[in-house]
Amino acid sequence: MSNRNRNLAIGGVLGLAIAVLAVWFFIFRDTAPPEASLEDAVGSVSSTTLDAGSSGGSLDGTWTIDTTVGDGVLDAGSYVGYRVQEELATIGAKTAVGRTPAVTGSFAFSGTTLTAGEIVADVTQLTSDDSRRDGAIRRQALETGTFAEASFILTEPVDLGVDPANGEPFTAEATGDLTIHGVTRTVTVPISGQLVTDTVVVVGGIEIAFADYDIDKPTAGIVLSVDDVGEMEFQLFLARS
């Protein structure tokens, strides 16, 4: 083989490899953001407030969801969202993730106990990486024109197991009423949290069956299938009221 032909062959192989890599990178790879985690959420708090502990020495009282943390970056601030597996034509399996930063609510602490809590999310602002998916969820699944809000209201006190005022991470299970698509169910949500200077960080999530909330899975030409269950997740930053 001449040097010219050899170089052409090598160039062709390299070009094919680059094309395959580009297809994987832009189409087939799963670009879903990671699940909500306490470690990542704590890292989202401003570096000027990363020393654990509280300036006031106690969490007693009411703390309100602060939507200013994260400088407007959705995954770095307070949000409520969903995570579900779907199968797309020509693409294959994909993790669909949508989140809304339009979240309000408050939590009340007394010593080592979470005594009250409420989260309300404006689901009309749920956004994913595909506007077609967002439109289908608004029109078919969550029907946000009719059911614009989802909420979770704590119905039992939660023993955190540690004094959160010391800046020590805590894990617990929060029982309350979860309302989605106009349907309310009593659920127990695993949560974790930590006090970071003057901000309380709380994350959590729970698997939900769409049928339990009368949610019809969205349909579209590109969508081959959607799992019957998904995950509701949240990341919250709380400031003292």
Q: Can you list the positions of beta strands (E) in 55-112? A: 61-65, 79-88, 92-100, 103-110
Looking at residue 4, its pLDDT comes to 58
What does the alpha-carbon distance between residue 119 and residue 101 come to, in Å, rounded to a whole number?
12
Handedness of CA 63, 66, 70, 71 (dihedral sign): negative
Looking at residue 29, its pLDDT comes to 44
Superfamily in which the 32-240 domain is placed by CATH = Lipid/polyisoprenoid-binding, YceI-like (2.40.128.110)
Decide which of 30 and 44 is more confident.
44
Q: Residue 25 above 50 pLDDT?
A: no
Q: Residue 17 above 60 pLDDT?
A: no
> Each residue of 186-226: pLDDT tens digit?
999 999 999 998 999 999 999 999 999 999 876 655 555 67
Name the residue ranges covered by the structural domains of the chain. 1-30, 32-240
- What mean pLDDT is predicted for residues 90-95? 71
Looking at residue 102, its pLDDT comes to 96
Looking at residue 217, its pLDDT comes to 76
- For residue 144, the SS3 value is coil
> Each residue of 150-193: pLDDT tens digit?
999 999 999 999 999 989 999 999 999 999 999 999 999 999 99
Q: Residue 13 — pLDDT band, cuts 50, 70, 90?
A: low
Decide which of 1 and 187 is more confident.
187
**Count of all residues that appear for the chain in the document:** 241
What does the alpha-carbon distance between residue 164 and residue 188 come to, in Å, rounded to a whole number?
21
> Each residue of 125-147: pLDDT tens digit?
999 988 888 888 888 889 999 99
DSSP classification of residue 162:
S
What does the alpha-carbon distance between residue 169 and residue 39 come to, in Å, rounded to a whole number?
10
Q: Residue 19 — pLDDT band, cuts 50, 70, 90?
A: very low
Question: For residue 193, which of 45, 32, 84 has the smallest C-alpha distance?
Answer: 45
The percentage of residues in the chain with a pLDDT greater than 70, rounded to a whole number, is: 76
Task: List % helix, strand, coil for the chain (3-state, nearest 5).
Answer: 25, 45, 30
Out of 17-21, 68-72, 85-89, give the one with best mean pLDDT: 68-72
